[in-house]
């Protein structure tokens, strides 16, 4: 009875997606609620690695690789921020009223978003108006067999240029904030 | 239905950003929100029984998933790393200045 209800809810969507997403949500809740900062960072790493496997299930291997590398770098950066800081825990209770208001607004947001999601195309049946062009002519016009690469580096190369600019600006900003010389 | 789970992941991150008082916790919340948005794009691009958008020699592959959101998210992931690095740099600097990560104790505006 219960299993039939679950099966009707899921339909033909792949079941492993649900398992991975529930795992990610559980890890995210642990990351948010745990006291110790280092454990929190490890839990957020679990979310990121789960996301990498989810990308693989959703047939996006390039993204899975990039997510894996970025997740590891992210963990290293975050651990660098917390380790050797002796006072890593913030004492004191949170205000009850803050939690109550934020939860109210989040539930409101969830309801509104859920009602607007019904206008999206059904899961598994994308519209692909633009992508039809890319899929048809990608090989002939760019010579790349990996169509994601052909979109990044040819059809939308200015996007990538902007990305590199943002990356450069952010790294320069981080170096400027952390520099030792020239500071008062 | 799967979109709802993705939204719940987004909301967990949002709750973390709004209610937590620790700077590192807030950075973690921003990271979780980022993951949820990236996942949402890829969920929209997915096709039932789809194949990865990589062509192969001597065979016609039908039913490819949408490559356009994948390209956009590939950009977004790398930018997310840069944003995290910048946020952590600012958090370290604040810790050096005030000796705490608690945002309620960081009150003095004078540099």
Tokens of B37: 């948005």
Question: In this model, does residue B108 exceed pLDDT 60?
Answer: yes
Provide, as residue numbers in chain A, all residues whose Cβ is less than 8 Å from the Cβ of B15: 32, 102-103, 106
Burial of A178 (0-12, 13-18, 19+ CB in 10 A): middle
In which domain, by residue range, is B84 found?
2-47+63-98
pLDDT at A93: 64
Across A138-153, average pLDDT: 86
> CATH code at B15?
1.10.287.3510
Provide, as residue numbers in chain A, all residues whose Cβ is less than 8 Å from the Cβ of B42: 54-55, 58, 60, 63
- Which ipTM was obtained for this model? 0.89
Chain A contact present for B16, CB below 8 A: yes
pLDDT at A147: 87
Residue B32 in domain: yes
Nearest to B54 by CA among A91, A145, A164, A172: A145
Question: In this model, does residue A87 exceed pLDDT 60?
Answer: no
Phi, psi of B58 (to 5 degrees): 60, 20
pLDDT at A134: 83
Chain A contact present for B83, CB below 8 A: yes
Residue B108 in domain: no
| pTM as predicted | 0.89
Say whether A37 and B83 touch across the interface (CB within 8 A).
no
Cα–Cα distance measured from residue B34 to residue B25, given in angstroms and rounded to the nearest whole number: 14
Look at chain B and report how many structural domains it folds into.
Answer: 1
């Amino acid at each position: 009875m219960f299993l039939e209800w679950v099966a009707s809810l899921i339909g033909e969507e792949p079941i492993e997606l649900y398992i991975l997403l529930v795992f990610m949500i559980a890890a995210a809740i642990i990351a948010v609620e745990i006291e110790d900062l280092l454990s929190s960072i490890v839990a957020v790493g679990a979310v990121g690695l789960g996301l990498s496997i989810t990308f693989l299930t959703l047939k996006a291997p390039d993204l899975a690789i990039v997510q894996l590398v970025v997740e590891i770098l992210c963990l290293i950066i975050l651990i660098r921020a917390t380790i050797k800081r002796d006072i890593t825990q913030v004492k004191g209770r949170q205000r009850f009223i803050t939690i109550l208001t934020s939860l109210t607004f989040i539930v409101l947001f969830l309801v509104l978003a859920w009602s607007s999601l019904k206008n999206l195309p059904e899961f598994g049946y994308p519209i692909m108006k633009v992508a039809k062009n890319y899929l048809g002519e990608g090989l002939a016009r760019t010579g790349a067999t990996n169509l994601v690469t052909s979109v990044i580096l040819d059809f939308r190369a200015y996007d990538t240029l902007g990305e590199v600019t943002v990356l450069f600006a952010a790294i320069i900003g981080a170096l400027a904030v952390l520099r030792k010389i020239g500071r008062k | 239905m799967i979109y709802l789970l993705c939204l719940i992941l987004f909301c967990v991150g949002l709750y973390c950003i709004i209610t937590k008082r620790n700077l590192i916790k807030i950075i973690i919340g921003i990271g979780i929100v980022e993951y949820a948005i990236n996942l949402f794009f890829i969920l929209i691009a997915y096709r039932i029984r789809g194949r990865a958008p990589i062509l192969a020699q001597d065979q016609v592959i039908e039913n490819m998933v949408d490559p356009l959101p994948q390209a956009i998210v590939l950009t977004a992931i790398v930018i997310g790393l840069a944003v995290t690095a910048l946020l952590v740099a600012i958090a370290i600097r604040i810790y050096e200045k005030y000796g705490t990560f608690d945002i309620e104790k960081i009150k003095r505006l004078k540099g």
